[in-house]
Structure 1
Amino acid sequence: MEQRMYRILLATTALVSFTGAAAAEITWSGEVALGYNDEELVEDGEGVIATAEIVPNLSVELDYGLTAEAEATILLLDQEGGSGVDTDDLSEDFEAESYILSLSNEFFGLSFGTVDFAPDSMWKSAGDMESDGFSEADGETGVLLTGSYGPVMAGVSSVLHTDDFSTGTGSGDFDQLGVAVNAELEGFDISLAYQEEAENDFDPANNNDDFEPNEILALSVGTTFEGLDVRLGYASDETADENSTGLELGYAIQDVSLGGYFVSESEGDDNWGVSAGYESGPIAVEAYVTDEQGAYLNGVEGSYAVTDRLIVRAGVIDDEDPADDGGSYIGGEYDLGNGASFLVSYADADNDGTPGEAGSAEDELGAPEYKHGLTALLTLEF
């Protein structure tokens, strides 16, 4: 931890020093939350929720339209559960959760740190495609280069193979090159993404279970006919020799929006889904039915803005997989002004945890991501 913070501060110092006499603009943002949850097995157990993080950002305007930036998300306190806040050694919570060093101008950006992966962040799928499982960034150190030229935007990324993310000793090499391109050409929206097969050993259980070492290639094309949005996509997992072909449709009629998709899978059951939404004034409702590899997921979720400050949300989700996010919830959030809000929610998750196993309960139920049980939470953003 200390070595990691030292590297961040050293890189920041070098970045500012490199600018010479140029003055760095420093801005601060962050979030503090304090609350209580009455159910066990939410993170470390029932009890107090106390979190705090700050985000310092250093920005310097250079010559030739370039901007250099250094930003870190520093976790000051992370107490979610337990009968009280452990104040014996708060230094255990203090850590840099993420950091990014970047150099950019109007046409390109080069970033190093806990960056997004180009294929996952830029790829546009055509429904629930099993073979487009690109690696998702979750705190790994990597490099990302993005650029745009007219209607074309492209990105290239690579992840750093470290001790924290390997099955053994990290090599320190960059691995799994990823490339993505999005383009708007003659009324067609084209999306292309590719990631190479990882050369080094990675341990998904050690850090990020969303890392996918396989070689994946995907292409989709979307357009609009008389208000009907259409996207056709193809994804191929070259390592597993599996592929997905999907068609996704969307249509809006005044306050009502309709959607649907069908994906033909070379392995396993096909995927399909339909949805309908309504939004008018203070009311917003969405209903959906999906079949994910033979398992149905149905839900109705909605919200009602009682006043400009108070919004109420509720939903019922039926998920055949008990390990996923099925259940029901209701909650209200009141805007206190100046970045402060107060939340009260109750969620009854199908996956309510395994006795004695901390963190096994579902705590991201529905679109609001409510915790299982009764929660009261005061949040301040600045």
Structure 2
Amino acid sequence: MVHSRESEQFNTLKCTKFATISSNGFYVVKSICKDITVPPHDSRSELAILKKLSQGNEHTVKLLGYECEEEYLKLFLPLYDMDLDEYMRSCYRPPKKRSKRFNPYLSFTGAQDLEDQPQVCENQFDVNKHAHDFFLQLSSALQFIHSQGIIHRDVKPQNVLLNRTEEPRLVLTDFGISYDTLDPIQLQREDPNAKITDVSTSIYKAPELLFGVKNYKFAVDIWALLILISQWFQHEANLSFSILPAMVDDGSGQLEDGETGSDIRLIFSIFSNLGIPAITQWTEVEKYGSSEAFQGMFGSNGDGNYLLNKHRDDQLQTIHKLMPRLNEIQDNSTKSLIENCILGMITFDSCRRWSSKQIVHELTKPSL
């Protein structure tokens, strides 16, 4: 059990309005102000979930100890080298040759010459070495927490930790807004049929959240994982943007929009890339969500382009367009397994979306 000592020197790593994260070089302390409880943030539930998960899976963060003071709850957690977003960004490299031609459309950024302009970098994330392995590790983490009744509700690269080694082990962290479907106190505080929909971050929000479905379940984590893995398969990125490119876009961090993306822009991006289903194909929105808003904006009959209504060859063509580096996976068996998982995860109707258990089962099939 770890306890803090007043004489120890801690450096602040990150501050939010809900918590301060600091480290002494050996472990991390997450200090949560108990007086600031803004749902879905809940320090009591976070501690209970960490206790529950601390034994049983190597891909979820371990609680080393905690201290409950009058004003603060302090959680002691392992120190890692970086998060997955930092790792993914480190895989981007400037192109070998840069155009010498000045781009007038970038002049609004304030750049005085070519070298000052935002640079688009090439994604050199090793999809052959890491894509299947990382995918399986994250799916295993979700399978474990889902088996314990927990919806993470904020799966994103910043909430995945790792050490820089030859074969990194990924660890899911930050259960500050997670929901334990088996915790009577949390069920009383947040009705399972009227859960908060202002969860998840930016592009990682599941479609059902965007249309006000409050009785959502574990599938919101599966959609977030889908968007995360799509980031490995993009060709290039402007690293000045706060979020790396993915199969969908909400404008986050782009110069004209500031740091905050738009749910409306995300909805249009999802529908533009995957098509619009008929309302009868999306029963949870029809019965439990903002059905009138959906039909008012997009009609009730769909646009005829919904991905799940197409033949498999057309579906694969679409996902390869959205994730172009899929073609760089050299082992056809591995590529096929990943494609199968993506097609299982990409449905809008969360009841049909693959579970973490199904994904792990698919990814662990023996190679042909």
User: TM-score, normalised to structure 2's length?
Assistant: 0.30
Q: Which has the higher helix share?
A: 2
Q: Which has the higher strand share?
A: 1
* Relative contact order, higher structure (CA 8 A, sep 6+): 2
